[in-house]
Amino acid sequence: MGRYVIKRVLWMILILVAAAIVVFTLMYLVPGDPAELLLGVEASEEVLAAKRAELGTDRPYLIQLFDYLYHVFLKFDFGDSWRYRVNVMTELGQRLPRTLIIGGFGMILNVVVGTVLGIFAATHEGKWQDSLTMVIAMVFVSAPSFWVAWMAIILFAQTLMWVPPSGISTWTCYILPVICGSLGGIAINARQSRSAMLEVIRADYITTARAKGQREKVVVRRHMLPNAMMPIITGVGGGLAMVVAGSAVLEQVFSIPGIGQYMLSGVNQRDRPVVCGCVVFFAAFTSIAMLIMDLCYAFLDPRIKAQYSSGRKVK
């Protein structure tokens, strides 16, 4: 098991390096001179040259790339934002908690509400409770999150005035983003867990458990749910990766200075250190989420655990 984790972490480093190279190259290929973008077209050639030397953009591509990789992976320094002169790492550290609050609470809601709804629908298969749950889930799967967010702002912030429409001044500001951010995930998870539950609901070992005289509630909790967990974890793991990477839209709608918004502004301003820093950070976060997900599989299923420890090839 330990060896498996080490192997996965080594792979993760490789993935991060690859992500850094790709995004750095893409940003390098973006047309336009960064110095000119920063100083405007009227700046004199000497000033521009001085700026280029300061940013290091006058050097050849490969030198710039290796310099960047060296700083990121050996000194853990993403560099300073070209526009704001603030260290990217510092800025990420400041913004991360806001994104994580929204994403984290969203995930908790997603797992708890989504799974419970899925179980509810599956155990009432074919009845009206099932159909109603699935119709509502379908609506929220299909509705784009920014639209849901706007509608929620109009209703709860403007009309009813229960919560502020945007900003981060009080904790109530987080209520709408958390709910709007989790609705889509809840709906997807509810559908996922319903079908996962229906897969196992007719399994022979469920009949065995019933034949033992086990109470129906315990059968659901102890026998069905653990066996239905695999697809649910897969869905939740994907959602976990989206916590950070998918935060841009909601943060934009609710004007929350989080990581997603940071990257968007970086992209708009061709701020290479910001964009590269954000993407590498997203890649790291996603890889860790996936690793946790795979460890959850092993924790839940002794067959997968046996596979990991015996060192056999994992698909």
Partner 1 sequence: MENFLEIRDLVVEYTQNRDTVHAVNSVSLSLGKGKTLGLVGETGAGKTTIAKSIMRILPDVGARIVSGEIWLDGENLLEKTEDEMYDIRGSKAAMIFQDPMTALNPLMTVGDQISEVLLLHNVKDKKEAMEKAGDMLEMVGIPRERYVEYPHQFSGGMKQRVVIAMALACDPELLLADEPTTALDVTIQAQVLDMIRKLRDKLNTSMILITHDLGVVAETCDSVAVIYAGQVVESGTKEDLFDHPAHPYTKGLFGSLPSMAVGEKRLHSIKGLPPDPTNLPTGCAFWPRCPYATDACKGDSAGGAPGISGREITPGHFVRCLKEV
Residue 284 vs 300, nearer CB to partner 1: 300
Residue 86 vs 218, nearer CB to partner 1: 218
Compute the least distance from the CB of residue 166 to partner 1, in Å.
46
Compute the least distance from the CB of residue 312 to partner 1, in Å.
13
Residue 172 vs 207, nearer CB to partner 1: 207
Residue 214 vs 269, nearer CB to partner 1: 214
Written as one string, the DSSP assignment of the chain is -HHHHHHHHHHHHHHHHHHHHHHHHHHHHSSS-HHHHHH-TTS-HHHHHHHHHHHTTTS-HHHHHHHHHHHHHHH----B-TTT--BHHHHHHHHHHHHHHHHHHHHHHIIIIIHHHHHHHHHTTTSHHHHHHHHHHHHHHHS-HHHHHHHHIIIIIIIS-SS-SS-SSSGGGGHHHHHHHHHHHHHHHHHHHHHHHHHHHT-HHHHHHHHTT--HHHIIIIIIHHHHHHHHHHHHHHHHHHHHHTHHHHHHHTT--SHHHHHHHHHHTT-HHHHHHHHHHHHHHHHHHHHHHHHHHHHH-HHHHHHHHTTPPP-
Compute the least distance from the CB of residue 224 to partner 1, in Å.
10
Residue 58 vs 301, nearer CB to partner 1: 301
Under the rule (CB under 8 A), what is the footprint of partner 1? 125-126, 202-205, 207-216, 222-223, 226-227, 300-303, 306
Compute the least distance from the CB of residue 4 to partner 1, in Å.
18
Compute the least distance from the CB of residue 126 to partner 1, in Å.
6
